[in-house]
Amino acid sequence: MAFTAISEINDDIAKITLSGELDASTAPIFKEEVESIAGQDISKLVLLTEDLEYMSSAGLRVLIFSKQKMGADVQLYVVSPQEMVLDTLEKTGFHHSVTIVDEYAAVAR
């Protein structure tokens, strides 16, 4: 499945919808979306990952980059990760640095 990363900003919430496989060849696409959002006046960065089937260490590096690039005041959410993606987040300990939720409505409150 081809990888896509589509971003949008509503009020102070930036969303990036990720689908497909996030690996070394597709991580630059994700990074570009993060960079396009960085510097905007947002309080939350929400990654919609329901259709993200796989995330390699290169994808994880972009997640770490996202956290650093957005700054300490921006909360990072991962919404509805598939088991393989959640497993990667947990095995690396990165699940402690993000908020993982089952649905977007939990973020928009």
User: What is the C-alpha separation between 15 and 12, in angstroms, rounded?
Assistant: 10
Task: Report residues of the chain scoring pLDDT below 50.
Answer: none
CATH of the domain at 39: 3.30.750.24
The tokens for 40 are: 């905007």
Q: Residue 15: its pLDDT value, please?
A: 96
What letter represents residue 78's amino acid?
Answer: V
Number of folded domains that form the chain: 1
The predicted structure's pLDDT at residue 109 = 66
8 phi and psi angles, rounded to 5 deg: -155, 155
Q: Specify the residue for token string 């959002």.
A: 37
Its domain, for residue 72, covers 4-106
